[in-house]
Amino acid sequence: MKTYRDFISDIVDDTRLYEELCQAVPFSEQAQLRDWFATRGYQLHSADAEVIFVNQEAVTGSDEQVNY
């Protein structure tokens, strides 16, 4: 089973999965979010799923500038 690290690695090469996630949010429950990832082959630890769930809008946002 793949994990969240694999999800990020996979969307580096193919954006479609990321676009699917953007279409799927917002999730009303953490379990829904974990199911979404699980049906696509990614198993999330509950603590990591909670971080993504709480920040789901930011996770799928692209408006914020990142300055290095």
Partner 1 sequence: MTLLEATNRERWPTPGRLTLSALDSLTFGEVRLTAAHQPLRDWLNQRVPAFCDRMPATLRDSALLAIQAHLTRYRACHVAAFYDKYYPPAWTVIPFLADSRGGVDPSQVYNALGAQAAAMFLHLLDDRLTDGDIPVDNLFLQLRTEVWYEFRDALGRLAGSDEEKRTIESLVNLYFSRIHRPPDCPDLSAYEEVFRGQSATSLIAPLLIAARAGYDTGQRRLVRSMYEEFCLAWRVLDDLRDAPADAAEDQATAVFHLLPPEGREIWHDVSMDPADGERRDALVGVLRSTAYPAAAHAIHTHLTTAARAADELDLAGLGGQYRALALPVEENMP
Q: Which of 20, 22, 38 is nearest to 30 (CA)?
A: 38
Nearest distance in Å: CB 4, partner 1: 4
Terminal Cα distance for the chain, rounded: 33
Q: Are 40 and 21 a contacting pair, CB within 8 Å?
A: no
Nearest distance in Å: CB 28, partner 1: 19
Nearest distance in Å: CB 45, partner 1: 6
Residue ranges binding partner 1 (CB under 8 A): 3-6, 8-9, 11-13, 15, 18-19, 21, 44-45, 47-48, 51-52, 55, 58-68
* Residue 39 or 62 with smaller CB distance to partner 1: 62
Longest CA–CA separation in the chain, Å: 35
